[in-house]
Amino acid sequence: MKNKLISQLPYQDPFLFVDTIENVSEDFIKGSYTFKASSWFYKGHFKDHPITPGVILTECAAQIGLASLGLFILSQDKNSDLGKIRLAMTSTNIEFLKPVLPDEKVIIEAEKIYFRFNKLKSLVKMFNINGDLILRGDIAGVILI
């Protein structure tokens, strides 16, 4: 099921920011991604000292903590056609605490705050491999069927 979730996401390289889904339930998800040094967004984002842009970190957190979790929740309904689902982020409230460097792996954990009327809101946290908190906040979106 975990690999199927990734394949159902409406993203592809170079805009897919999910490598693994390690744990998922209707209330929680944990996944990871490694930001490759060759990624297009590092060119020019702080010349000679590249860091991952905050908007990309937010997108990574949303792809795991909102899109993947939402797909899993909907997959529990046998009548849902995951191939027809469209996702739209509606709001974010993110606090950035540490930079993410090229070739750094991040772990995202998200808890469902609520899911109703096809709107999902999640509390997301991103950690580095040392367990340091990189970002935290909430992300909401709608799932269009």
Residues annotated as catalytic (active site), given as ranges:
45
**Among 6, 7, 35, which residue's Cα sits nearest to residue 20?**
6
Give the pair of three-digit tokens for residue 74.
Answer: 């909907």
Q: CA 24 to CA 122: how far, in whole Å?
A: 13
Q: Answer yes or no: are the C-beta atoms of 21 and 29 closer than 8 Å.
A: yes
Residues whose CB is less than 8 angstroms from the CB of residue 142 and which lie 6 or more positions away in sequence, other chains included: 87, 88, 90, 118, 119, 120
Residues whose CB is less than 8 angstroms from the CB of residue 13 and which lie 6 or more positions away in sequence, other chains included: none
